[in-house]
Chain A
Amino acid sequence: MDLTFFAEQLLNGVQLGILLFLLAAGLTLVFGIMDLVNLAHGSIYMVGAFIAATLTLWTDSFIIGLLLALPLTLAFGMVLEIVALRTLYARGHMDQVLATFGLILFLNELVRVIWGPAGLAIPLPAFLDGSISLPLGIVYPTYRMFIILIGIAVAVGLYWLVAKTRLGMLIRAGASNRTMVGALGVNVRLLFTAVFGLGAMLAGLGGMLIAPINQAQIGMGEDILILAFVVIVIGGIGSIRGAFIAALLAGVIDTMGRAFLDVALLTFLQANAAETAGPALSSMLIYILMAAILFFRPQGLFPPRGG
Chain B
Amino acid sequence: MMKQLLGATAAIALMSSPAFAESIKIGFVTTLTTGAAIIGVDQRKAVDLAVEHIGGKMGALDVEIVYEDDEFNPQKGKQKTEKLVKADDVDIVAGYIWSHVLLASAPVVLNADKILISANAGPSPLAGKNCNANFFNVSWQNDQTPMALGEVLNQRGIDSLYVIAPNYAAGKDMVAGVERTFKGNVVGKDMTTWPTQIDWSAEFTKVKAAKPGAVFTFYPGKHGPAFLKQYAQAGLSDVPLYSVYTLDSLSLPRLQQAKMDGVLGTTMTQFWSPDIDNAQNKRFVDDFKAKHGSYPSFYAAQAYDSIFLIKSAVEATGGKVGDIDAMRAALKKADFASVRGDFRFGNNHFPIQNFYSREVVADADGKWTTKLSGVALKDHQDVYAKDCKM
Contacts and interface: CB of A to CB of B under 8 A. Distances in A.
Given A122-B258, A215-B258, A218-B35, A223 B191 contact: no
Interface string B283-315: 000000000000000000000000000000000
A278 B189 CA distance: 11
Given A5-B209, A141-B233, A117 B201 contact: no
Interface of B: 34-35, 37-38, 167, 189-193, 195-199, 201-203, 205-206, 208-209, 222, 225-226, 229-230, 233-235, 254-255, 257-260
Given A8-B205, A276-B191, A124 B196 contact: no
Contact of B38 (A5, A117, A144, A255): A117
A132 B36 CA distance: 37
Contacts of A178: none
Given A213-B233, A258-B190, A276-B191, A121 B225 contact: yes
Contacts of B195: 223
Contact of B209 (A2, A214, A219): A2
A279 B226 contact: no
A112 to B, nearest CB: 9
A122 B225 CA distance: 11
B131 to A, nearest CB: 29
B201 A15 contact: yes
Nearest to A16: B199
Contact of B201 (A12, A130, A219, A275): A12
Interface residues of A, number: 43
Nearest to B254: A121
Interface in A272-303: 275-276, 278-280, 283
B35 A213 contact: no
A262 interface: yes
Given A119-B254, A262-B190, A124 B202 contact: no
B32 to A, nearest CB: 10
29 contacts: A5-B209, A8-B205, A9-B202, A9-B205, A16-B199, A57-B257, A117-B38, A121-B229, A121-B258, A123-B258, A129-B233, A139-B235, A213-B230, A213-B233, A214-B198, A214-B229, A215-B225, A215-B254, A217-B35, A217-B222, A218-B35, A219-B35, A223-B195, A255-B201, A256-B202, A276-B167, A279-B192, A280-B167, A280-B193
Given A5-B205, A255-B201, A279 B167 contact: yes
Nearest to A219: B35
A194 interface: no
A18 B222 CA distance: 23
Contact of B190 (A13, A143, A279): A279
A59 interface: no
Interface in A115-157: 117-119, 121-124, 129-131, 139, 141, 143-144
Contact of B206 (A141, A217, A259, A279): A259
Contacts of B209: 2, 5
Interface of A: 2, 5, 8-9, 12-13, 15-16, 57, 117-119, 121-124, 129-131, 139, 141, 143-144, 212-215, 217-220, 223, 255-256, 258-259, 262, 275-276, 278-280, 283
Contacts of A214: 198-199, 226, 229-230
A122 B201 CA distance: 19
A255 B234 contact: no
A121 B203 CA distance: 22
A144 B35 CA distance: 27
Nearest to A214: B226
A305 B257 CA distance: 50
Contacts of A57: 257
A259 B188 CA distance: 12
Contacts of A15: 201
Contact of A124 (B34, B233, B255): B233
A76 B235 CA distance: 36
Given A118-B254, A131-B235, A12 B205 contact: yes
Given A121-B255, A213-B229, A223-B196, A16 B201 contact: yes
Contacts of B202: 9, 12-13, 255-256, 258-259
Nearest to A130: B235
A92 B226 CA distance: 39
Contacts of A13: 202
Contacts of A118: 38, 254
Contact of A215 (B189, B229, B235, B259): B229
Given A2-B209, A119-B254, A213-B199, A279 B191 contact: yes
Contacts of B206: 259
A86 to B, nearest CB: 32
A78 B255 CA distance: 34
Contacts of B225: 121, 215
Which A-B residue pairs are the 10 nearest by beta carbons?
A: A121-B258, A123-B259, A12-B201, A214-B226, A258-B202, A131-B235, A283-B193, A259-B202, A255-B202, A8-B205
Given A118-B254, A213-B226, A215-B222, 8 more contacts: A12-B202, A57-B257, A124-B233, A213-B229, A214-B229, A215-B254, A219-B35, A258-B202
A275 B230 CA distance: 23
A291 B2 CA distance: 64
A144 B205 CA distance: 13
Contacts of B260: 121, 123
B154 to A, nearest CB: 22
A143 B198 contact: no
Contacts of B235: 130-131, 139, 141
